[in-house]
Structure 1
């Protein structure tokens, strides 16, 4: 494993699941043609580039490209040793044939793919089983290492009553190795941590340089319960992905508010004074918290994957974090 992917900037969260994930995972939404189609000459090189960089954890979902990302990930993993990689996928959106398909794409849901399938929200036990069956077929796998309930924001009670008991049953049967939930809010995840026996949570965009709201409730609860936290969307939709943030960039899938841009620019100034890049800060920041085991980064090309892996190659000096905290740009980790 390369130094970049194996570099530890914080201790792993408790539990064998976290240890198996590693510090860096590859989120493969781009393989589902997120925002735009990934050329057939490009996407087959993405997983091999991640493997070469030492990445062994791959995160996907039926939602990504109406199943295309799962199909492409499965094809790319087919020749690799099964016991050496970890795959997480998600439940909550069951894919069905779209009877109204008339040649349109799914770009309204951010994916440039033919809308030959449709998503049906279903957090029931039956929905979990149907979704898992479809994912196993598309991925070409006989088991899923980690299965996450995907964005049950308006279906919390249904997930608690249906999805989580089903996942617990599947884990006991050995069909899945572990289970959890993935959301872009911390309140519901905190409730799941306290009320279920899940192993892992994936928090998107709420424990980043620009949004540390997850530190108030989820991270302490996860530490208390021995639940591993995966930090996703750490670039907040791209604003933190470049050395100098831009007003033309994205923040949480939308335009960048002026105060947020100003704060990001000040962070970039601090980083520059110490010879550090803003994306390095963004990638390494979540791993400083003892509850966080893993950061998942997305990429659409092999070159982006290699660059992402390099972001963990050299730990950011403590003086940089201290200066960011001293200027009120970051909260101190308790």
Structure 2
């Protein structure tokens, strides 16, 4: 049994003292912008490391110099966390100054004016299409025009939840074995998109009442068959509900009745079983590892995977691999 194909890990680094080269790199990787000439001749350095995590992207950057620039993000949202230096955003309603350690948003579809004073920050970008897709899979909602209305999280709790998601992507970006799993990186991208939608105030979606009917046994069978066939793909609850031909809430209630778990829980069971089969068939002499097989099936935390595996099969996954 094999999981999804392993993608090439994309990592880009730049270290330049040329402003034109730096701003060309920024345009290529973040969005169209126009930088004003510096007000004085001063030393300049731009350093950045960019790592793709599924559809999302993690960047560490240092801009050693001052800059004022006009930006338009047409197809992505950027969340930044300032380590030090100065960073201010003007949405046309006056500047908001960013404080170190607190996340801020550069939203899609808005014209922005940024002022930098030697910032060092970590940036996380998510495509607009992924934000819209994730938002549309929230029970009771449909795709609609997504517009963010403020650059800061709505509450301290929302900021903490977002920072936890950012730390997780930060961790993945330094783990090549996990970056090689399409399921792990796709789940991480959706986690970040969900955290952004929950953290920052927005006029996200057109809300409609979900169906209140009960999904039939046939719909549950369609859903389980879809999961079994597509367990190696990045599936959302919305994907499964559409395949079954019912609403998300109806499907969730039906799965609880028939399987004692949610559709997502059932998907985790199937993937755990696929990992079990791979462990049984793997040859440690070829370099197969528990962590690698777990990551192939979307389990990014080795400790949690080992606990779930022990509960399901009565032995640690390492015993299955080396028996």
> By the TM > 0.5 criterion, same fold?
no
Structure 1 or 2: more strand by fraction = 2
Q: TM-score, normalised by structure 1?
A: 0.25
Report which of the two structures shows the higher radius of gyration computed on alpha carbons. Answer: 2
Higher RCO (CA < 8 A, seq sep 6+): 1
Q: TM-score, normalised by structure 2?
A: 0.26
